[in-house]
Amino acid sequence: MSADPSLHFLRPGTLQLGAPPPLALYVHLPWCLKKCPYCDFNSHAAPDALPEAQYLDALRADLEAALPLVWGRRVGSVFIGGGTPSLFSPAGIDRLLADIRARLPLEPGAEITLEANPGTFERDRFRAFRAAGVTRLSVGVQSFDDAALRRIGRVHDAAQARAAVAEAAAAFDTFNIDLMYALPGQTLDGLAADLDAALAFAPPHLSIYHLTLEPNTAFATAPPALPDEDLASDMLDLIVARTAATGLQRYEVSAFARPGHRCRHNLNYWAFGDYLGLGAGAHGKLSFPHRVLRQVRWREPAAYMRQALAGQAVSNQHEVARRDLPFEFMLGGLRLREGFDLEDFRQRTGLPLSVLATTLESARRRGLIEPLSDADPGRVRPTAHGFDFLSDLQALFLPPDRPGDDQAP
């Protein structure tokens, strides 16, 4: 292979892609205070002495090795996720962002998000993250109920959650509250109380996720009793009604925002944009004129640091098969309430629209997507029914011999 890895991916291939899609940057900081029993992310309980400086060195080396793959492209958003990124010091986040700015051109007004948990909250800490260059804070509250927080293994209590959100609201123009519903033992009244607590802060953005039992988690090994499907459906109806009543628009399956406060980074994911992933276990997706590439970094933090500092942060990568591109595109595009443009599908997959014709017609007959309108003939939108049965809608685009339960992006 050439010393310049980008040359390999510029060779002729089976696709003819349009202009490169927008590019984002994801940075994974893998440590948290304690692993939650429902969490299947690449997160690890933090050691007594967090190797912050060494990990930042590894991220810088990782970025420098990846630069030939994104040379000349501007970055529209940066998302620092985890784990619990707010375990890192504000000085460490300042150094990370300085390293990024010195090596990648950020668009003017680029969105820079940091995930934070109330268990790591200290007064003025969030303001220090803002001073470091973070523009958007996402606070992982999950619930404002002490009993519910204990049942899902969170390290913070309701008072810490309220204090953290209040600090976020004071420090940031745009912030997000993360909530979960269908928790063990949760009632409709319990969810209503959580919504009351969250909406009292007038959040610009609210993310609400249904608790699911994921493989290889503590909850999968010892499942708690969860609300049944009917109750969970009633909970979602309550969420949709209450958020709409306070001016939050449901623009994605699990995301609600006031005008001007949608998460630009996540919108890029859902629109099949590109993203460079740095950090332990980080995933990335990059487009070239004739192929779409997915990358994964080494998962275990010590191995990642060692390999990144040696210039080998990527543990594996593969070209997305032509036959898988429609499904991969639909995993994100159909999550959006406003849907997607057919021209974006053509540009970002390099495939003709004819590959969708039969499946789109089947989805319309089932009432899962709206008929194309004369006013906007090139836009595909899920119906309310399609939104409620999103997995069924997305599965229609699986290759014929691919198992329906293999739907991970």
CB 141 within 8 A of CB 161: yes
Looking at residue 403, what is its pLDDT? 52
Tell me, yes or no, whether 277 lies in a domain.
no
CA dihedral sign of residues 179, 29, 214, 402? positive
Among 245, 268, 291, where does a domain finish?
Answer: 268
Domain match, 258 and 334 both: no
Question: For the chain, what is the mean pLDDT?
Answer: 93
Write down the pTM of the prediction.
0.94
Q: Are residues 264 and 335 in the same domain?
A: no
> Does residue 116 surpass a pLDDT of 70?
yes
We report the CATH number of the domain holding residue 24 as: 3.20.20.70
Question: Within a domain: residue 260?
Answer: yes
Measuring CA to CA, how many Å separate 275 from each of 240, 290, 351?
30, 17, 20
Same domain, 262 and 146: yes
Question: Strands, E, within 8-147: which ranges?
Answer: 23-29, 31-32, 44-45, 75-82, 106-116, 136-142
Find out whether 268 and 77 touch, Cβ atoms under 8 Å: yes
**290 part of a folded domain:** no
Percent of the chain whose predicted confidence (pLDDT) is above 90:
88
pLDDT at 217 over 70: yes
- Pairing type for strands 314-319 and 283-288 reads unpaired
- Measured distance between the N- and C-terminal CA atoms of the chain, rounded to whole angstroms: 28
Whether a cis peptide bond, with omega within 30° of 0, leads into 83 is: yes
Q: What is the mean pLDDT of residues 282-307?
A: 97
Asked if the structure places residue 187 within a domain, the reply is: yes
Checking if the pLDDT of 131 tops 60, the result is: yes
Claim to verify: residue 222 and residue 332 sit in the same structural domain:
no
Claim to verify: residue 223 and residue 348 sit in the same structural domain: no
pLDDT in tens, 29-72: 999 999 999 998 999 999 999 999 999 999 999 999 999 999 99
Query: What is the distance between the alpha carbons of residues 335 and 323, in angstroms, rounded to a whole number?
Result: 21
**Could you tell me the CATH number of the domain that includes residue 384?**
1.10.10
Q: For 192-240, what is the HEC assignment?
A: HHHHHHHHCCCCCEEEEEECCCCCCCHHHHCCCCCCCHHHHHHHHHHHH
- H/E stretch holding 5 reads helix 5-9
**What are the φ/ψ torsions at residue 271 (nearest 5 degrees)?**
-90, 15
Place of tokens 């299947």: 40
306 belongs to a structural domain: no
Report which of 130, 213, 212 is spatially closest to residue 172, judged by C-alpha positions: 130
Is 331 in the same domain as 251?
no
Amino acid at 408: A
Domain boundary among 251, 268, 285: 268
Q: Are 251 and 338 in contact (CB under 8 A)?
A: yes
* pLDDT for residue 2 is more than 60: no
Q: Which domain holds residue 64?
A: 5-268
Listing DSSP states for 158-171 in one string gives: HHHHHHHHHHHHHH
Whether 167 and 247 share a structural domain? yes
Cα torsion angle, 150, 41, 336, 21, sign: positive
Looking at the domain assignment, is residue 278 inside a domain?
A: no
The count of other CB atoms within 10 Å of the CB of residue 135 is: 18
Domain shared by 263 and 334, yes or no: no
pLDDT beyond 80 at 108: yes
Assess whether 373 and 259 both reside in one domain: no
Task: Assess if residue 293 is contained within a domain.
Answer: no
Q: Is residue 402 very low, low, confident or very high in pLDDT (cuts 50, 70, 90)?
A: low
303 in a domain, yes or no? no
| Helix/strand/coil for 291 | strand
Q: Choose the final residue of a domain: 225, 250, 268.
A: 268
Phi and psi at 204, nearest 5°, equal -65, -25
- Strands 44-45 and 75-82 turn out to be unpaired
**227 and 153 fall within a common domain:** yes
Q: Give how many domains the chain has, as a whole number.
A: 2
**Collapsing DSSP states into helix, strand and coil, what is residue 387?**
helix
Q: What is the pLDDT of residue 6?
A: 62
Q: Which of 389, 354, 355, 351 is nearest to 369 (CA)?
A: 389
On the question of pLDDT at 376 being above 70, the answer is yes
Instruction: Say whether both 17 and 100 belong to one domain.
Output: yes
Q: Dihedral sign, CA of 102, 105, 106, 112?
A: negative
Q: Is the pLDDT of residue 234 over 80?
A: yes
Identify the pLDDT of residue 325.
97
231 and 350 part of one domain? no
